[in-house]
Amino acid sequence: MKLSQLFTKTEKLPPAEEVSANAQLLERGGFIYKNNSGIYTFLPLGWRVLQNINQIIREEMDAIGGQEMQMPSLINKRYWEASGRWEVDVMYKLQDANKHEYGLGWTHEEVTAEIAKRYLQSYKDMPFSLYQIQTKFRNEARAKSGILRGREFLMKDLYSFHPDEASLNEFYWQVAEAYHKIFKRCGLEAIITEASGGDFTKEYTHEFQVLSEAGEDEILYCEKCRYSQNASISQMAKGGKCPKCEGKINSGKAIEVGNIFRLGTRFSKAFNLNYTDEQGAEHPVVMGSYGIGPSRLVGTIVEVFHDDKGIIWPASVAPFQVYLISLDGTRVESDKIYKKLLSKKISVLYDDSEERSAGAKFADADLLGIPVRIVVSTKTLKEDSVEIKRRGADGFELVKIKELEGWLTK
Ligand SMILES: [Zn+2]
């Protein structure tokens, strides 16, 4: 795509009211637009990043047998009353013209449990899992940290259904493995952290935490084996010994990018979601639920990967792979390179302006954080070459135009 045709423009200064790095850089770069506190639009550039993340999540969820679907956001009061969650204070509540009451979906255990009731009768129907990637709502008293904690955000929520705890546990650890793959593919190291089960379960639940000063959580973790507990429940202490490997325990602020819960029979009992076993006896279904916030993940990646000039996207989620800059009236030659890269299915953002200064173009390339910057100038053309620089790396190299495709695909 040509930068001159891109809907958004970059801004020199961050918006005055934003304090977090993710919101400052994403708004300056034209990735997101703040509509209200905690409510953001994903603009074309930001949407491309989000879609790349969603695609990674889809591939890994499908690989463990997850089936994607889409549930409503408008959820009738009867669902929440059945589970005892109508009074939850983070839920937006509203009434329709007929005075029927609804809660805007912040989670979907109730809805999946009721749907599953129609199709699930026998032990032979299980295990299975369903997921969606959907906008969720949370009535936050004080939205903060940019897109890390919003009132409206994207969520991948997966729900699994099992005849017994053993089947649930097997799948639970499969999901944990899939989550590690997802975060790794997004360039992040997520530490699997034990946390208290709250009202869902007496067992530990697990959070996936990325170390960052922007995080709201504090975790204790082993420097050697990465065994970790959330500080709010932990018996471990900073500087102490790891109970698993005797390594040194450290602590740090962290952003929770995912969580997994063994729900047990809490929701199946609330919705009479039962199955018959081989002997014909009836039992409640055992459930699990598993969340990842793709929009929060965008913010986390920016918090972890940025410098004083802008964002440094990992290639796997970057909105474009190449930022192509034409300098010194080399438009004709640059156009040819642009078309050639497109024909090879390499995604390019092409800064084709003949008016803007080289400095302004370089500043945009750094702010937008696209992994590879290619500069075409009269100097490079004398060598039949272009100048290539990786975002975040020092120095550049000259690459022959005829070897460019090979360089980019290697
Ligand atoms: Zn350890």
| Residue 219 Cα to ligand 1 middle (Å) | 14
Torsion sign over Cα 119, 123, 124, 130: positive
| Residue 238 Cα to ligand 1 middle (Å) | 13
Closest CA to 273 of 409, 119, 103, 53: 119
| Residue 340 Cα to ligand 1 middle (Å) | 51
pLDDT score at 202: 62
| Residue 105 Cα to ligand 1 middle (Å) | 38
Structural domains of the chain ordered from first start:
3-188+254-307 (3.30.930.10), 322-409 (3.40.50.800)
Closest CA to 247 of 225, 229, 231: 225
> Residue 388: which region, alpha, beta or left (left: phi > 0; alpha: psi -120 to 50)?
beta
| Residue 172 Cα to ligand 1 middle (Å) | 22
| Residue 225 Cα to ligand 1 middle (Å) | 4
| Residue 235 Cα to ligand 1 middle (Å) | 14
| Residue 221 Cα to ligand 1 middle (Å) | 8
pLDDT score at 71: 98
pLDDT score at 141: 87
Residue with tokens 């944990």: 176
At 1-38, the pLDDT tens digits run 999 999 999 999 888 888 899 999 999 999 999 999 99
| Residue 226 Cα to ligand 1 middle (Å) | 6
- Burial (Cβ within 10 Å: 0-12, 13-18, ≥19) of residue 235: exposed
Q: 273 by DSSP, 3-state: which?
A: coil
198-202 long-range contacts (CB < 8 A, ≥24 apart) are 200/261, 200/262, 200/263, 200/264, 200/266, 201/261, 201/262, 201/263, 201/264
| Residue 168 Cα to ligand 1 middle (Å) | 26
72 has a pLDDT exceeding 80: yes
| Residue 243 Cα to ligand 1 middle (Å) | 7
| Residue 254 Cα to ligand 1 middle (Å) | 18
| Residue 198 Cα to ligand 1 middle (Å) | 25
257 has a pLDDT exceeding 80: yes
Q: What is the mean pLDDT of residues 177-197?
A: 96
| Residue 175 Cα to ligand 1 middle (Å) | 22
d(C-alpha 90, C-alpha 139), whole Å: 4
Instruction: Answer with the residue of higher pLDDT: 234 or 347.
Output: 347
pLDDT score at 199: 55
DSSP per residue, 205-228: EEEEEEE-TT-SEEEEEETTT--E
| Residue 298 Cα to ligand 1 middle (Å) | 29
Beta pairing class for 74-76 and 385-390: unpaired
pLDDT > 70: percent of the chain: 98
| Residue 214 Cα to ligand 1 middle (Å) | 25
| Residue 339 Cα to ligand 1 middle (Å) | 52
| Residue 306 Cα to ligand 1 middle (Å) | 29
**Cβ neighbours around 10 below 10 Å, total:** 18
| Residue 80 Cα to ligand 1 middle (Å) | 41
Torsion sign over Cα 320, 323, 329, 334: negative
358 has a pLDDT exceeding 80: yes
| Residue 10 Cα to ligand 1 middle (Å) | 45
* 8 A C-beta contact, residue 161 and residue 126: yes
| Residue 241 Cα to ligand 1 middle (Å) | 8
Q: What is the mean pLDDT of residues 77-96?
A: 96
| Residue 264 Cα to ligand 1 middle (Å) | 29
| Residue 19 Cα to ligand 1 middle (Å) | 35
d(C-alpha 293, C-alpha 231), whole Å: 22
CA angle 58, 269, 179 (to 5 degrees): 20
pLDDT score at 15: 86
* 8 A C-beta contact, residue 188 and residue 302: no
At 98-148, the pLDDT tens digits run 999 999 999 999 999 999 999 999 999 999 999 999 999 999 888 888 999
d(C-alpha 23, C-alpha 314), whole Å: 18
| Residue 22 Cα to ligand 1 middle (Å) | 31
d(C-alpha 119, C-alpha 113), whole Å: 11
198 has a pLDDT exceeding 70: no
| Residue 223 Cα to ligand 1 middle (Å) | 7
Element (H, E) at 332: helix 331-343
* 8 A C-beta contact, residue 247 and residue 208: no
C-alpha distances (whole Å) from 367 to each of 9, 100, 297 are 11, 48, 19
| Residue 60 Cα to ligand 1 middle (Å) | 27
| Residue 192 Cα to ligand 1 middle (Å) | 13
| Residue 305 Cα to ligand 1 middle (Å) | 26
217 has a pLDDT exceeding 90: yes
| Residue 228 Cα to ligand 1 middle (Å) | 8
pLDDT score at 200: 52
pLDDT score at 201: 55
pLDDT score at 144: 81
Relative orientation angle of helices 294-304 and 21-28, to the nearest 10 degrees: 100
d(C-alpha 230, C-alpha 251), whole Å: 10
Q: What is the mean pLDDT of residues 348-377?
A: 96
At 269-328, the pLDDT tens digits run 999 999 999 999 999 999 999 999 999 999 999 999 999 999 999 999 999 999 999 999
pLDDT score at 16: 83
| Residue 240 Cα to ligand 1 middle (Å) | 11
